[in-house]
Amino acid sequence: MNAILFATLALLGKEIVLQPADTVDVAATGCTSEAVLYVNGFRSASAQPAADGSVVFPSVRLHRGVTDIRVESGAESDSLSWRYGETESEAPGESPAWRENPRDAWFRDARFGLFIHWGIYSIPAKGEWGFARGVMPPDEYKALVKSFNPTNYNPAVWARLAKAAGMKYVVFTTRHHDGFCMFDSHFTDYKITNTPYGKDVLKMLVDAFRAEGLRIGFYHSLPDWTHDGYVDLETPEGIRTGKCGAYDPKRHAALRELVRNHVNQLTTEYGKVDLMFFDYVSKYKAEEDYFDRAALIGICRRNQPDMLVNDRLSYFKDGDAPDYDYYTPEVAVPNRPPLVRGTLRTWETCATMNDHWGYAKDDHDFKRVETIVAGLVGCVSRGGNLLLNVGPTELGEFPPESIACLRGLADWFAVNGEAVAGCGPSEYTPPFGCAYTQKGDALYLNVLVPPMGDVLLPGLRGKVRSATLLRTGEAVPQTHFWGFETLRPDELRLHPQGLVAGDVVKLELSGR
């Protein structure tokens, strides 16, 4: 049991919401030796305890970058972290417009993409954070460069699977946080072309996916756990010891230069790149411009003027953050699009198929095809995209469960794809258990939960020319009377038979 407590923060252990500029008083009890106060992992004060074991530290001002404080004394330690309140939300009754951005038209039509997390972490096969979480000693991990040999890699197969599933773009991990480059970097030896495989897998992937007509996106990690200029608690050392090394401006400058060089290489040597997915700024660096946003965005705009750039160069998205092209929530369908400085923003949720991004051989917790279809139409119904992830194996193959899932999606898409591609949200309110997507006068009723009988569509009485179940091509009868009538005057009552989750009823509106 910890002997130390934050006496003045009686909320310890609960989630607390604080506002920037709040101050907290930090006090500890039960200290037997010098007590040290850490703010965001950095030592900020120390004091000897009074005879009763208590220590009172100076107040900590919680500017937004401060996300946790910790006190250590001897072998004891205790800590507290919190989140900040929402920064922007609509006033009641207000309906903000979408921001105009000519760069993103294709992306908002595409709606569905394939994320690929592939790197040297597929060998220990415990996900892409394995290195940080200590799957093997650092030197052994780094030495995997001598054995990575994905002889079964054939990106044409991946591209065909993605295309059939209705995906219109791919986002590939050119480098993840472990620093290993899946392209022929000119700036490090820690790269795919120095493995026994020896080929530039990125180049092969770009060619294969372009050949199938998919657009190309590059994921690129900003953190680099193998670079001594990256000092953070979210690193192998930070996770192991709860501490990180000293900040060194020269090494930090070298890290920034490496990222700039990589971004420059990626945007000049692989033809047209349609989007850049930067990942990420840690909460410990929330208040800083750690990677030099302006320089990186400048390189992107100069080399690829039409390329979309995501939002993860900033931890906070308001205030001084640049106007990113799109926003990237994770593994959830947001209820509303992001609202940034008064306009709704283009967004894409990324999601795992199981519980890991990188290959994890023991993780068989794959989502059902129906679940993913519901997530996809859920995103589109809220004006967003879904980027669905696959983590290939050490040999360069998609896991069998992922292939089965993509094939299931392809079956769904072959019949129902028109409810997704080119569609967006509808102004109509969907009935219980359904989501709407819409393209012009075609309104798609996406069945998430099979109805127990008829389906009542608010606001559509007299407005629907035809209702067709896409799976059978047959008309769904509309009825206007049923005994014990409880219909409201604006409701249309559909009388479908045998609907299943994932079914889509196309409603042709007769003009509004």
User: What is the contact surface with ligand GLC in residues (CB under 6 A)?
Assistant: 117, 128-129, 279-280, 330, 350, 357
Residue with smaller CB distance to ligand GLC, 162 or 351? 351
Rounded to whole angstroms, the Cα distance separating 388 from 349 reads 8
Residue with smaller CB distance to ligand GLC, 221 or 446? 221
* Ranges of H-type helices in 74-187: 105-110, 138-142, 155-164
- DSSP conformational letter for 234: S
Residue the block writes with tokens 């990690």: 221
The CB-of-379 to ligand GLC minimum distance in angstroms stands at 15
Rounded to whole angstroms, the Cα distance separating 176 from 144 reads 15
Q: Residue 128 corresponds to which tokens in the numbers above?
A: 């892409």
The CB-of-330 to ligand GLC minimum distance in angstroms stands at 5
Residue with smaller CB distance to ligand GLC, 130 or 166? 130
The CB-of-362 to ligand GLC minimum distance in angstroms stands at 18
The CB-of-180 to ligand GLC minimum distance in angstroms stands at 13
Residue with smaller CB distance to ligand GLC, 153 or 219? 219
Residue with smaller CB distance to ligand GLC, 217 or 502? 217
The CB-of-487 to ligand GLC minimum distance in angstroms stands at 45
Residue with smaller CB distance to ligand GLC, 136 or 487? 136
According to DSSP, the residues that pair with 506 across neighbouring strands are: 444, 468
Rounded to whole angstroms, the Cα distance separating 320 from 309 reads 16
Residues contacting residue 403 through CB under 8 Å, at least 6 positions apart = 161
Letter for the amino acid at 140? Answer: E
- Strand pairing of 68-73 and 35-39? antiparallel
Rounded to whole angstroms, the Cα distance separating 274 from 267 reads 10
Torsion angles phi and psi, residue 404, rounded to 5: -60, -40
The CB-of-221 to ligand GLC minimum distance in angstroms stands at 8
The CB-of-424 to ligand GLC minimum distance in angstroms stands at 23
Residue with smaller CB distance to ligand GLC, 326 or 412? 326
6 near 76, Cβ under 8 Å? no
